[in-house]
Structures are given as C-alpha cells and as structure tokens.
Amino acid sequence: MLGALRDQPADKILTLMQTFAQDPRADKIDLGVGVYRDAAGATPIMRAVKEAERQWWEEETTKSYLGLVGDPGFADAMTELVLGDAVGREQVAAAGTPGGTGAVRQAFELIRMANPRARVHVPDPTWPNHLSILAHLGIEAVPYRYFYDATGGVDADGMLTDLACVPRGDVVLLHGCCHNPTGADLNPAEWRAVVDTLNRTGATPMIDIAYQGFGDGLDADAAGARMIAGRCAETLIAASCSKNFGIYRERTGILLAVAQESRLRAVAQDNLAHLNRQNYSFPPDHGARLVTKVLGDAMLRAEWQAELERMRRSMLGLRAQLAEELRRLSGSDRFGFVAQHRGMFTLLGLSPAQVARLREEHGVYMLGDSRINVAGLSERTVPVLARAVVEVSG
Ligand code: LMR
C-alpha cells in the first residue's frame, strides 16, 4: 500500500525553514516563516501568557475530555475579541480548532458539506496553504485580482470587478488584516464596497484572520471582519491565536460561523461539532485555556495588550526604517509601500532570480515570491537587507 504513495509537493515556507537551519553562515538572516521575533531574535512567551500558564498549572484538577467544540468560555472570549458587538452571541456558532490552519481546514470542509460544487475565490496571491488545502479537499480555487505589483497596493478596482462575478453558492476568502503574503490591506471604504458587492451577488464571505493586533490595533484590524459579519447574511471566520498570543506550537484557533438568522446557529453548531469529531474529536485545550484566562482577567488582558502593542509598534518601526534605508540607497521611492503595508509581511516585488541571489550571496532568506517577515529584522539587520536588495535589484 505505502508503495502506491507519491511524493508530495514540498511546502515552500517549511522548506525554507529547513534550508535556513542548514546554512552554516553566522550572519544569515531569516525572513521566512511568519513568527514574531524580538530585537534579540527570540520568540519569547508573552508575560501574560506565562502568568496564565502558572495560574492554570495550580488550578487545573483534571485532564478529562471537554465538549467536542472545546471550552465554551474560549468561544465566548474569542467571539468578543474578533467580533466585538458587531453581532449578537446567539448568531454565532463556534468550534475550537488546532490553530488557525485547523480553522481554515474545517471551514473548507463545512463549505464542501453544504455545497459540494462550491468554489472558493481567493486573493491573488494568497497564503500558499490555502491553495494546498483546497486542492487536497478537491475544492476548486479561483483567484481574484488583489495586488497591484506596480504600486505594491491593493488593486481595488480589479478585485471588485472580479468579485462582482462570483455567483451565489460560491465562497469569497478574504484576509481580515495583515494580508499574507503581500502586507497590503483594504481600507474601510474598500471593505464597504466588498460588503456591497457580496450582498449583490449573494456569495458567502470567509475571513481568515491570523494577525489581529499586528496591523493597526486589535479593533482596527477586526473592523473588516466585523463589517462583513454584521452586514452579510452568513460569514465564516477562521481566527488564529498563534501570533497575537505567541502560542504557535499550542495550536489554538477557532472557527466561527455567523448567521443573521439565529435559527441557523443550531445546525451550524451541530455541523462544527460533527466535523471536529470526524477529524480529531476534541480540539487542544491548553492554549485555548491560556487565551481565555488572559482575555477574562483585566490585569492579564491589559498586560497582554500592552505587550502586543509593543510588538506591533516595533514592526512599524522596522518598516519605517527599511523604507527609509531603501529610499536612501536606491535614490527612489519605489519601495515606499514597505511603510504602508501592515502586519508581518511585505512582498518586495523581486524576481525569483534576485531572491536566489539574496540567499546565495548575502545569506538573506525570504520566500521565492520575495515575501519578507518584517519581524525577522532588527535595527542592525535592516541596513544589511536594504544594501543587499538594492545591489541585486539595481
Ligand atoms: C506563514 O505564512 O509563514 C505562517 O502563517 C506560518 C505558516 O504556517 O505558514
């Protein structure tokens, strides 16, 4: 049986991680996988998370099973964090998942269960794993225009034109904030236009929000998701706690299914529980527990928000420094978009050959499409990157 298996295409992000680890150069720079790093290059455990973990270690009395969709307190806390008061809690079905990827996977499966012919329209470009999971599930992915290479900004006209042609029954995948890989986000007017378009066509929105708090702040980053959930008939939301709580390996995420008609909540909730049972029974609890404790305790929440805000500002500072350094060295504003982008990622607009030269000649690792993880930089390495980029692209 095993002999019938074929080699699988390598995951570009994880392959880059391995190649970086094997590079013996001491001054190599890792701008690959989306993991936050501080100025010393470490990915620390956030202080509030560590404290929640200490408290939980003392309080926990059993490791017996919870319900199929996880702790209801986690669902309440995450619904409030992501959706604020945009919808009533009785409109939201929720299921804990292993990370944001788990939520994305469960959402795609739910879509296929509801409509086996549904296609999922994805921004071009999008996170490669969206495409990979869709292909794995046999769901057709249809790209819509999103990014305008010439400006490094959102191609709003192209996007709205393409979305206007998406039929009812299909799904439109949107990145809630901090678009991965481009870093280019919709502004509030563009979000409003997307909502109007979706409401005209009847297509169902699905939002992947994995970086809430890394862009313009916790509420601003969720504004698009809230607008969609509040104004569209039905919305799926896959949210991750990996980045904003720094609990990557704990695998903590949630899938929310929001319906204006609250009578749909029960059937959605039932199907989310069923899907969890089929795929892994119970979602992991530890990370979800820490998130629930942090969000539910005023002091821990304030400490977490302050630390998240410091991380956000540090990425913005690195963006400003990089944009300025590139402007100075290249003598042009062609990289000005670096300071406009939000979140961890920016697509620099370099060719695969230029990316390869950066890796081979300068020890700078980024994805083949020239996506960099801004949080992989430091004040010291920004000038190194800028010089290398200008050299290979000059
Ligand atoms: C990334 O895009 O680098 C992150 O979302 C990590 C991952 O799982 O790919």
Taking 80 as the threshold, does the pLDDT of residue 191 lie above it?
yes
Rounded distance between C-alpha atoms, residue 197 and residue 193, angstroms: 6
Please, what sign has the CA dihedral across residues 90, 171, 370, 34? Answer: positive
User: Which residue has the least CA distance to atom 2 on ligand 1?
Assistant: 34
pLDDT digits (tens, 9 = 90+) for 107-154: 999 999 999 999 999 999 999 999 999 999 999 999 999 999 999 999
208 annotated active-site: yes
Return the H-helix or E-strand segment holding 87. Answer: none
Q: Tell me, what's the ipTM?
A: 0.95
Q: Running DSSP on this structure, what letter comes out for residue 127?
A: -
Domains of the chain: 9-43+312-393 (3.90.1150.10), 65-296 (3.40.640.10)
User: Which residue has the least CA distance to atom 6 on ligand 1?
Assistant: 34
Nearest atom in ligand 1 to the alpha carbon of residue 32 is 3
Angle at 193 between CA 201 and CA 240, to 5 degrees: 90
Query: How many A from CA of 330 to the centre of ligand 1?
Result: 30
Ligand 1 mutation target, pool 11, 30, 33, most atoms within 8 A of CB? 33
Taking 90 as the threshold, does the pLDDT of residue 394 lie above it?
no
| Per-residue model confidence (pLDDT) at position 322 | 98
Instruction: Please provide the DSSP assignment of 143-194 as one string.
Output: EEE-EETTTTEE-HHHHHHHHTTPPTT-EEEEESSS-TTT-----HHHHHHH
Query: How many A from CA of 33 to the centre of ligand 1?
Result: 6
210 annotated active-site: yes
Taking 80 as the threshold, does the pLDDT of residue 264 lie above it?
yes
The set of residues, in sequence order, having a beta carbon less than 8 Å from that of 163 and lying 6+ positions away, is: 121, 144, 172, 194, 197, 198, 201, 203
Backbone angles phi, psi at 290, to 5 degrees: -65, -45
| Per-residue model confidence (pLDDT) at position 200 | 98
| Per-residue model confidence (pLDDT) at position 243 | 98
Section 156-168 average pLDDT: 98
| Per-residue model confidence (pLDDT) at position 149 | 92
Q: Which residue has the tokens 């292909």?
A: 135
Please indicate whether residue 160, judged by its CB atom, sits closer than 6 Å to ligand 1: no
Section 56-75 average pLDDT: 97
Section 43-55 average pLDDT: 97
Residue 251 near residue 284, CB atoms below 8 Å: yes
Section 187-198 average pLDDT: 98
Find the catalytic residue in 127, 238, 259, 293: 127
pLDDT digits (tens, 9 = 90+) for 293-320: 999 999 999 999 999 999 999 999 999 9
Residue 304 near residue 296, CB atoms below 8 Å: no
| Per-residue model confidence (pLDDT) at position 262 | 84
Taking 80 as the threshold, does the pLDDT of residue 211 lie above it?
yes
pLDDT bin (cut points 50, 70, 90) of residue 274 is very high
Q: Is the peptide bond before 383 cis (omega within 30 degrees of 0)?
A: no
pLDDT bin (cut points 50, 70, 90) of residue 23 is very high
Residue 97 near residue 254, CB atoms below 8 Å: yes
| Per-residue model confidence (pLDDT) at position 183 | 98
3-state secondary structure of 363: coil
Query: How many A from CA of 101 to the centre of ligand 1?
Result: 9
What average pLDDT is seen over the chain? Answer: 97
